Amino acid sequence: MPLLSTASPRDFQPVCHLRSMHAVVVCGVPPPRRKGWRRWAEKRYDKVFGIFDSVINSRLADASTGKHADAGAGDFLDSLLDLMSAGKIARDDVTSIMFDLFGAGTDTIAITVEWAMAELLRNPSVMTKARAEMNHALAGKKTIEENDVEKLPYLQAVLREAMRLHPAAPILVPHRAEEDGAEIGGYAVPKGSTVIFNVWAIMRDPAAWERPEEFMPERFMDMAEEVDFRGKDYKFIPFGAGRRLCPGLLMAERVVPFILASLLHSFEWRLPGAQGSTSWKSQEKEGPEGEDDNKADDAQSEDGLEEDTLPRGKGIRRRNKKYMGPDWAV
């Protein structure tokens, strides 16, 4: 967390590499148009697990010497090591749980932040409003802390609207019909049937949302209590709902707004050159059907974004010493 409060564009570059690795190691997706992908994946699998093992070994060594005892309250890894010491989980379980946490969380968090930033760049008036809220709430602070995010309701609304339009998991994990009598679109759903929910369609349903295709964070300012991440209202369920609610919800609820706030607080953002918000278009891929694997599509990125090519690294710069003033530029 402290690293993100003094952000640099280079801090976020390793995430992109880990995300491509996650696609193969976690999901089993082979690298496109490449032979020997199993060996390729196994090497990276061993490399990633080696990183986690080294962190765990270091923590165990610190604990044995009492070095880590003065660090204050324990973190997630400490809790896992306590369970291991009590014989409730094995050492391999600790490594696997840490891998699952970072493997599943890195990809979804990065996609969510990317789409939120994309929508802010396409809607500079929204970015202006979010920055004005930060300038007022932070009262001249040069770094943002995790608890500062609670003072930014409009930024939270921006994030919810980005997740409504671009859910990281557009299709929920499969559920099962627990009883007979359910009917969808005139079709009976027998008990025991596997049911898959299209969250992307639900959160763009014109019957539930006014002007559903537009990016309007203000809609969440009026319904902050009724519509939250935990599925109180089934028209907004980016993390699912019920007993199969995403286990990473609490982490995402704290980390994603903090990353987004850090990016807005530390840097000025604008489209490079003379490109305006209407000249740059982006949308999700529709899926693999009809795609030619032998042709490279330069307009599509690996994370599901389809966008015009932008010069890498341009349009982003650190905010100057007066970045808390009202006259900053987007």
Which string of b and e fits 52-88 if b means at least 16 CB within 10 Å? bbeebeebbeebeeeebeeeeeeeebeebbeebeeee
Among 195, 215, 201, 321, CA closest to 268: 321
Contact 210, 204 (CB under 8 A): no
Q: 306 phi and psi, to 5 degrees?
A: -120, 115
- Alpha carbons within 13 A on the beta-carbon side of 115: 25
What are the tokens at 140? 């001249």
- Alpha carbons within 13 A on the beta-carbon side of 298: 3
16 assigned ligand-binding residue: no
Q: How far is 318 from 328, CA to CA, in rounded Å?
A: 11
Q: Which residue numbers belong to the known binding site for heme? A: 246
